[in-house]
Structure 1
Amino acid sequence: MDVAATTDLKALYRALLLPRVIEERMLRLIRQGRLSKWFSGYGQEAIAVGCAWALEDHDYILPMHRNLGVWTTRGVPLRPLFCQLMGRAGGFTKGRDRTFHFGLPERRIIGMISHMAAMLPVACGLGLAARLKREDFVVLAFSGEGGTREGDFHEALNLAAVWKLPVIFVVENNGYGLSTPAHEAIPVEDVADAAVGYGMPGEVVDGNDVLAVIDAVRRAAERARAGEGPTLLEMKTFRMRGHEEASGTKYVPKELFEYWRKRDPIDRFEAYLERAGVLSRAERKTIRAELEAEVREATEYALAQPEVESTPEAERADLFAPPFLALRAPKPTRRELRFVDAISEALRLAMEQDERVLLMGQDIAEYGGVFKVTEGFVERFGKERVRNTPIIESGAVGAALGLAIEGFKPVVEIQYADFISCAFNQIVNNLATTHYRWGQPVNVTIRAPFGGGLGAGPFHSQSKEAWFCHVPGLKIVVPATPEDAKGLLLTAIEEPNPVLFFEHKLLYRSVRGPVPEGIYHVPLGKARVARAGTDATIVTYGVGVHWALEEAAWWAERGVSLEVIDLRTLIPWDREAVLASVQKTNRLLVLHEATRTAGFGAEIAAEIAEVAFEWLDAPPVRVAAEDLPVPFARTLEEKIFSARPRLRPALVRLLRF
């Protein structure tokens, strides 16, 4: 296509020059000591501006920190943008994150996190949303050449290709990842060559030629809108400044600067416009003066704004989106269900009630999942809503975030909770922080079958819930009964915040119980008294509830009354219920299957010792697994590793103190 013939070249020049003028202004402010930090995109403006220019307003763009031109070309007002960049009041994140680490959904821009390539799976989720909604928007996501070595790059390309998603992957190859030249990190000349491995087109583009950028992106967008899937575009450019200004550029050979200085995108476009008789030097000078005045005014405005201030209460209030409160009470009619069937029923009812609920995970469609939780679902709901994913835990969770941004309620099954470590970055750095940083609700539920007792060895038996309890922004649920499993999962699916839902594998088919029919909700953050007692309190969750109830029955035959508190939710955990029990019994034992050191029980014991010390007749006691990997041999797991044999001796010590 003839880009020049279909483009308002004067308007394009203004759009291309604006980020350069901002760059010049920011560098001047740094030299004056009025700005402390700046990630420069000087010399790379044609890529950001060209990509934004080539797309429609309803298309999504996921930029990085050298893509200022995306924000300006999309018309983001300069005053609040500069307040954001300078960390002043009036920015978009209330001072909670810097530069371009935020989203503006009204401008269809979803900003980055600092972890390279992490937003590429999110782009896949947005692209899947376009397909599911039968809408024609496409998604363009940026990565640096260094980020293409990250697993998320490959997981995202693979997922987009397998599902034929309308995603354009743009690799901004500027030659350096901080100080490491690309040739020391990448064994091929062109990153675009990777495209063939994923069955998509790949193209190398002159990233300093704004018309070439527009042409390549428009062609890729047309292909995506036609349902032909993703494209990988490698934009060759150069980083004329340091990684950030404090880094400097001493490690870059001088001849490289000279080579690329002659290929400056502004100079090249100005020369083109002059040759074409479109824009004279005098007109260019006038446009520059106008933009400089506009930028100067906006930066001075931002610098005059006060520093960001807040209160602990306000910060805590914004950590989570307002919780789901439209809770339905259970119906009186009940029937016996296994734990696994209660979970399956919750998923089925949620999907029947709301078409925005969809499932993703390995082998969950025709196979029904390794634990058969979703058996028969693909026949009932179809493969668009019951989606087998490749083996890409990080990619699947990142895609779930993209779906949530578009209003879906994705439920991701991690085949075994042990494998959740492969998605750790997406969970703790992306899902957990998004609402606090820029106010986006994140309705993502992650189901994680966990726990031991099945002789499955160190990689299929772990209890790692405490990892995530340390991360602000996540809600952690661990049900112990079929009734709670169903009611808590139905609540989690409606909750506009990320929920990790840990399901104990041992309970799936060994525990049965009464379960109400239809949809009902168990509130998050509310414990239950599983057994009332007066002599000591056992606080536990998951399989520990069943251990505690068995032990309480044994002690009851000997005249000792133990109260068992089932937390149900670890984050938030019900302090009031635990405090009320301890005030009554004056003794506390915390029990969990996970290893002892830094287990969640330590948090409960420490909290109670701190705030309820005067009620205690004995020090709090923790019962947990040995600090070892879970052994494969059943005798080793049951007799050496497991917390279960330690429970009775610990109670003896507690009661005798």
Structure 2
Amino acid sequence: MIFDRKKLDDNALIAIYKKLLYPRVIEEKMLVLLRQGRIGKWFSGIGQEAIAVGATLAMQPDEYILPMHRNLGVFTTRNVPFSRLLGQWQGKASGYTKGRDRSFHFGSQEHKIIGMISHLGPQMALADGIALADVLSGQKKATLVFTGEGGTSEGDFHEALNIAAVWNLPVIFLVENNGYALSTPTNEQYRAKKLIDKALGYGIEGRQLNGNNILEVYYAISEIAANIRQRPRPVLVECMTFRIRGHEEASGTKYVPPELISEWQDRDPIAKFENFLIAEEILRPEWIPYLRNEFLKEIDPAIDKVMLEKDIRPNLFTEINDVYKPFARPSFKLSPTSKVIRYIDAIREGLMQAMTKHEKLVIMGQDIAEYGGVFKVTENFIDLFGKERVRNTPLCESGVIGAAMGLSLNGYKALVEMQFADFVSSGFTQLVNNLAKTHYRWGQNVDVVIRMPTGAGTAGGPFHSQSNEAWFTKTPGLKVVYPAFPADAKGLLMSAIADPNPVMYFEHKYLYRNLTGEVPDGELYIEIGKARVVKKGTQATIVAYGYAVHWALEYLASHPDKSIEVIDLRSLQPWDSQTVIASVKKTGRVMVVHEDTLTGGFGAEVAAVIAENCFKDLEAPVMRCASLDTPVPMDKGLENQFLGKARLEKAMEKLLNY
């Protein structure tokens, strides 16, 4: 192994050596604690320190790094206090996640580090969004994101590289090729001779490095970062190294040929660098135990202190209130003027006013720029706000949602349009595991809205008509809104964009051009989580949302003799149970109506809450009317039969005559 010091003086080389040695000393101590039973789990990066340390030293302190669970050197080189790291690993209150997550599953804006989640791959798209924010704000910065050779098999790898290439984003995608993804060797992971060969497919540069040579890593990443700061573009870097220990310590290494471990132990990055420094008469052998001991003088007292910290005392109020970042509806003056417009125009108007108000709001989606989106909601938006803020995206929902989160992490607001709500399944992990859980885990808000053109009635068939709101109402950390009227469509959209939490905004396609209503001209903010009594009544209550509200109103129009109270939930997470309970206590009968399929639909949650809180007030069982438990058919006759509207008349007759 050849070390080229170039212009580094002796003091700089010793400083690099200390940065390299420190995470090794910590890891060796952790392995002792593991054998003693004082810690429960450990993911070892021993033998790979040169990559994390060298790459981190090459980045500027205010540039983001997105590491993995073997990159302790990123954290130590960025001077994250060891006591806080240990508190994190031990689930103590002194850690970064208040005992809610483990390992390096956290971030620190102070240190410009964004940690991973266990689903390998999603962090790469976050790097895209972070880099995009820097480009939009004119910052000449680079972003560094780590993954492993196993992670390159994930779709997120492809999507993130493709987005970065198309948008010329200054991201360094660093692959630590350490031989094994848990126990799967590289020859069972990919067929390319080199992983950097994949760079050709994205039209970007690829560079392979000796990951055990800290100077080679440091100089290469320094050079790449300096270059892409001036000429933004992504670069794929493959660092060859080896995982000496198991995936985690309990896994062991029996699946690795012993001679392979021996071969790579001889290439140990610390031992090799020590030998170079000694040969150059920069480091004396007797200094090494002294330096290790100096680190232990810091590490040992911190261990004693953290181990004595009391376990976290569970608090229901704290747990529930940390799921979302606190948010109050913005104050605004209701415009004295209004106009009658279509549902789709109300959405367009709300989005336009939000884009004007929030200069750091970026909207993204397939075909939303020149084409204006498949439903023309954003038609002419690029003329008003420019193509930098109204961005066509490649066809990759996971990557785009991840990029939206990255924008938020770096100070922007993001709105993503799903072409159809059905397609959101391709971005499911980002939504339910990344966006939804981030504030609860480490207090970082995620300022992202996902627009969801949803619902049946247009003969769109199984993949363009689903009502999939229940996929998300059960996920803590996501807010879900579903307007039924034009004014609510505008007001809930503006509230969703103002809200610093991730919001799923469902908009019914059939209502786009088939429903009009009076909408105030100026800013309008409808409180998320507040239902509306659309029509008062005394005989029974219908609880509905979205298109189903209009089914209820059509039923009442054909039965003017009935006194039925209609409640439009408007928000499904959080939802206004108090208004529903008060109505049911008054009327004694209730029908919960929604377009989604019956089994597992959100109406089941509403029905359960009513049963728990209004049992003594009920004069009939809580009833539901929803769509058939089948996929949505395309044929118009079959679709009409599928929808719950076809059964509402008989359902209400049964309820009222019970």
Using the size of structure 2 for normalisation, the TM-score is 0.98
CA deviations 1:440-465 (Å, max 9, x no partner) are 11110000100000001100000000
Matched, 1:10 2:50: no
- Using the alignment, how far apart are the partners of 1:161 and 1:452 within structure 2? 36
Residue 430 of structure 1 deviates from its aligned partner by 0.3
Aligned AA for 1:403?
L
- Retained in 2: the 8 A contact 1:80–1:91? yes
Residue 570 of structure 1 deviates from its aligned partner by 0.3
- Using the alignment, how far apart are the partners of 1:322 and 1:369 within structure 2? 32
Of 624, 627, 630, the residue aligned with 1:628 is 630
Residue 3 of structure 1 deviates from its aligned partner by 5.0
Residue 228 of structure 1 deviates from its aligned partner by 3.6
Matched, 1:335 2:339: yes
Match in the other structure for 2:657: 656
Aligned AA for 2:636?
R
- Using the alignment, how far apart are the partners of 2:120 and 2:182 within structure 1? 12
Matched, 1:613 2:631: no
1:286-297 superposed matches below 5 A: 286-297=290-301
Of 403, 406, 410, the residue aligned with 2:410 is 406
Alignment CA distance shift 1:37-1:638 (3 Å): same
Name the SS for the 1:514 alignment partner. Answer: strand
Residue 4 of structure 1 deviates from its aligned partner by 4.4
Q: Where does the alignment leave 5 or more consecutive residues of structure 2 unmatched?
A: none
- Using the alignment, how far apart are the partners of 1:525 and 1:5 within structure 2? 61
Match in the other structure for 1:524: 528
**Percent identity at matched positions?**
54
Matched, 1:541 2:513: no
Name the SS for the 1:6 alignment partner. Answer: coil
Aligned AA for 2:563?
S
Match in the other structure for 1:509: 513
CA deviations 1:365-397 (Å, max 9, x no partner) are 000000000000001110000000000111110
CA deviations 1:544-600 (Å, max 9, x no partner) are 0111111112222xx211111000000000011101110111111000011111000
- Retained in 2: the 8 A contact 1:532–1:562? yes
CA deviations 1:313-342 (Å, max 9, x no partner) are 110011100113323253231111100000
Matched, 1:235 2:255: no
Matched, 1:215 2:219: yes
Residue 100 of structure 1 deviates from its aligned partner by 0.6
- Retained in 2: the 8 A contact 1:555–1:562? no
1:166-205 superposed matches below 5 A: 166-205=170-209
Of 378, 390, 393, the residue aligned with 2:394 is 390
Name the SS for the 1:316 alignment partner. Answer: helix
- Using the alignment, how far apart are the partners of 2:281 and 2:37 within structure 1? 41
CA deviations 1:410-462 (Å, max 9, x no partner) are 11000000000001000000000000000011110000100000001100000
Match in the other structure for 1:69: 73
Worse overlay, 502-511 or 286-295: 286-295
Name the SS for the 1:11 alignment partner. Answer: helix
Match in the other structure for 2:474: 470
- Retained in 1: the 8 A contact 2:338–2:518? yes
- Retained in 2: the 8 A contact 1:417–1:450? yes
1:72-87 superposed matches below 5 A: 72-87=76-91
Aligned AA for 1:190?
K
Residue 92 of structure 1 deviates from its aligned partner by 1.0
Aligned AA for 1:281?
P
1:106-505 superposed matches below 5 A: 106-505=110-509
CA deviations 1:45-65 (Å, max 9, x no partner) are 111111111111011100010
- Retained in 2: the 8 A contact 1:59–1:138? yes
Residue 86 of structure 1 deviates from its aligned partner by 1.7
- Using the alignment, how far apart are the partners of 1:69 and 1:538 within structure 2? 59
- Retained in 2: the 8 A contact 1:329–1:521? no
Match in the other structure for 1:591: 593
1:26-45 superposed matches below 5 A: 26-45=30-49
Worse overlay, 57-66 or 301-310: 301-310
- Using the alignment, how far apart are the partners of 1:343 and 1:166 within structure 2? 34
Residue 256 of structure 1 deviates from its aligned partner by 0.8
- Using the alignment, how far apart are the partners of 1:228 and 1:581 within structure 2? 58
Match in the other structure for 1:23: 27
- Using the alignment, how far apart are the partners of 1:84 and 1:353 within structure 2? 39
Alignment CA distance shift 1:204-1:328 (3 Å): same
- Retained in 2: the 8 A contact 1:143–1:172? yes
- Retained in 2: the 8 A contact 1:41–1:67? yes
Q: Which runs of 4+ in 1 moved over 6 A?
A: none
Match in the other structure for 2:92: 88
Matched, 1:46 2:50: yes
Name the SS for the 1:202 alignment partner. Answer: strand
Match in the other structure for 2:577: 575
- Retained in 2: the 8 A contact 1:84–1:91? yes
Worse overlay, 301-310 or 436-445: 301-310
Name the SS for the 1:13 alignment partner. Answer: helix
- Using the alignment, how far apart are the partners of 2:630 and 2:331 within structure 1? 41
CA deviations 1:98-136 (Å, max 9, x no partner) are 011011011000001000011000000000000011012
- Retained in 2: the 8 A contact 1:327–1:523? no
Name the SS for the 1:5 alignment partner. Answer: coil
- Retained in 2: the 8 A contact 1:176–1:182? yes
- Using the alignment, how far apart are the partners of 1:152 and 1:63 within structure 2? 15
Name the SS for the 2:592 alignment partner. Answer: strand
Match in the other structure for 1:602: 604
- Using the alignment, how far apart are the partners of 1:363 and 1:629 within structure 2? 27
- Using the alignment, how far apart are the partners of 2:507 and 2:333 within structure 1? 23
- Retained in 1: the 8 A contact 2:4–2:215? no
Aligned AA for 2:185?
P
Residue 188 of structure 1 deviates from its aligned partner by 1.6
Residue 612 of structure 1 deviates from its aligned partner by 1.1
Residue 2 of structure 1 deviates from its aligned partner by 6.2
- Retained in 1: the 8 A contact 2:461–2:635? yes
Q: Where does the alignment leave 5 or more consecutive residues of structure 1 unmatched?
A: none
Q: How many residue pairs end up in the alignment?
A: 654
- Using the alignment, how far apart are the partners of 1:41 and 1:309 within structure 2? 32
- Using the alignment, how far apart are the partners of 2:99 and 2:120 within structure 1? 22
- Retained in 2: the 8 A contact 1:61–1:141? yes
- Using the alignment, how far apart are the partners of 2:406 and 2:109 within structure 1? 11
Name the SS for the 1:299 alignment partner. Answer: helix
Match in the other structure for 1:566: 568
- Using the alignment, how far apart are the partners of 1:114 and 1:560 within structure 2? 54
- Using the alignment, how far apart are the partners of 1:582 and 1:406 within structure 2? 46
- Using the alignment, how far apart are the partners of 1:481 and 1:142 within structure 2? 45
Aligned AA for 2:369?
A
Match in the other structure for 2:645: 644
Aligned AA for 1:527?
A
- Using the alignment, how far apart are the partners of 1:89 and 1:402 within structure 2? 27
Residue 200 of structure 1 deviates from its aligned partner by 1.0
CA deviations 1:610-644 (Å, max 9, x no partner) are 111011100011111101111111111112x1111
Aligned AA for 2:593?
L
- Retained in 2: the 8 A contact 1:320–1:497? yes
Residue 227 of structure 1 deviates from its aligned partner by 2.0
Name the SS for the 2:436 alignment partner. Answer: helix
- Using the alignment, how far apart are the partners of 1:330 and 1:637 within structure 2? 40
- Retained in 1: the 8 A contact 2:329–2:525? no
